Amino acid sequence: MPIVVRIDVELAKRKMSVGEFADRIGLTPANVAVLKNGRAKAVRFSTLEAMCEVLQCQPGDLLEWVEE
């Protein structure tokens, strides 16, 4: 998969649990796990915005394109 999701890295830097993160962005922990594990087919801009707001980061901190 050429897009790598780095949510786990940002959560670890902030010592934030998936449950707390899910509550603060308005998703279920199961849906955060789908995003975190790279199994999501799409991400809404509103969700991406909420993640960036909570983690105080840029979209590029959460998503990275890597050549296969």
DSSP per-residue letters across 4-57: EE-HHHHHHHTT--HHHHHHHHT--HHHHHHHHTT--S---HHHHHHHHHHHT-
Domains of the chain, residue spans = 3-65
- Specify the pTM: 0.90
Mean pLDDT of 37-66: 96
Reported confidence tier of residue 26, pLDDT bands at 50, 70, 90: very high
Share of the chain above pLDDT 70, in %: 99
Query: For the purposes of burial, counting CB atoms within 10 Å of the CB of 16, is it exposed (0-12), middle (13-18) or buried (19 or more)?
Result: middle
Fold of 3-65: 434 Repressor (Amino-terminal Domain) (1.10.260)
